Amino acid sequence: MTERFTETLKEANATAWSDAVDHRFVTQLFAGTIADEVMAAYLIQDHRFLDSFLTLQGAAMASADTFEARLRFGRFAGMVAGEENTYFLRAFEALGVSEFQRENTPDKEPTKGFQAIMREAAATRSYAAALSVLTVAEWLYYEWAAGTSRALPESFVHAEWVTLHDNPDFNDFVAFLRSELDRVGPPHADVCHDFFSRAVALELEFFNVAYDQ
């Protein structure tokens, strides 16, 4: 049997992929030992990630070739714009992050990098390109969140960041993204490899810079 296209993409980026999945951010998140300043710095940047992520989902919805896919993107975008966004607002409150602080914190490099690659992928109007970036973002998060049987941390700020990326709907969305990229990616393999590997590198950097204070 030939290997799945998405497996080939992941294997081509195996080192950066596992460095991100096994990052100390993840270990400390599960242990509940992550410093509040690190979690706050990460979430401030990630709330901006969410904005560009929704933009790219809109582009994927527009460029998808089936009604079924558009329905799936629509449902997921509703969850992100709803309960996931609400998690951020509750977490900022619990961590004592004010709106002033959020507005006056500059974008870090990986945040800018994600905004740029998502804009770039959207501008190609290629479903395969959009899927390559979306698949990295969701599949890599699925792997660190669902890949182990670790107990959930106590604080909702930590625990819900895990369960947002390990629940039946999220896991189904990851499976959907992979099967879509397996289906439409191979004729555009070079473009997919390019977007996929740049997105994996950004994921690793995104975790790294949460520790730069």
Ligand X SMILES: Cc1ncc(CO)c(N)n1
Catalytic residue ranges = 203
* Interactions with ligand X, residue window 150-189 (CB under 6 A): none
Of 18 and 189, nearer to ligand X (C-beta) is 18
Q: Is 83 annotated as a binding residue?
A: no
Instruction: Quote the CA–CA distance of 188 and 198 in Å, as a whole number.
Output: 16
Query: Between 101 and 140, how does the x/- string for binding to ligand X read (CB under 6 A)?
Result: ------------------------------------xx--
Instruction: Quote the CA–CA distance of 128 and 113 in Å, as a whole number.
Output: 19
Binds ligand X (CB under 6 A): choice among 30, 87, 92, 206:
206
Query: Between 20 and 59, how does the x/- string for binding to ligand X read (CB under 6 A)?
Result: --------------------------x--x----------
Of 63 and 111, nearer to ligand X (C-beta) is 111
Q: Is 19 annotated as a binding residue?
A: no
Give the nearest distance from C-beta 141 to ligand X in angstroms.
4
Give the nearest distance from C-beta 8 to ligand X in angstroms.
21
* Interactions with ligand X, residue window 185-204 (CB under 6 A): 203
Contact between residue 50 and residue 80 where contact means Cβ atoms under 8 Å apart: yes
DSSP 80: I
Q: Is 103 annotated as a binding residue?
A: no
166: which 2 tokens?
């390990």
Count of residues that bind ligand X according to CB under 6 A: 7
Give the nearest distance from C-beta 87 to ligand X in angstroms.
10
Instruction: From 11, 137, 171, 155, select the one nearest 93 (Cα to Cα).
Output: 155
Give the nearest distance from C-beta 39 to ligand X in angstroms.
13
Q: What residues contact 169, with CB distance under 8 A and at least 6 apart?
A: 76, 79
Binds ligand X (CB under 6 A): choice among 73, 76, 141, 196:
141
Query: What is the maximum span of the chain, computed from C-alpha positions, in angstroms?
Result: 55
Own/partner contacts of 183-187, CB < 8 Å, gap of 24 or more, are 184/65, 184/127, 184/128, 184/131, 185/5, 185/6, 185/9, 185/128, 185/131, 185/132, 186/5, 187/128
* Number of other CB atoms surrounding residue 82 within 10 Å: 10
Instruction: Quote the CA–CA distance of 86 and 183 in Å, as a whole number.
Output: 34
Q: Summarize the annotated binding site as residue ranges.
A: 46, 84, 138
Q: Summarize the annotated binding site for substrate as residue ranges.
A: 46, 84, 138
Residues that bind ligand X (CB under 6 A): 46, 49, 137-138, 141, 203, 206
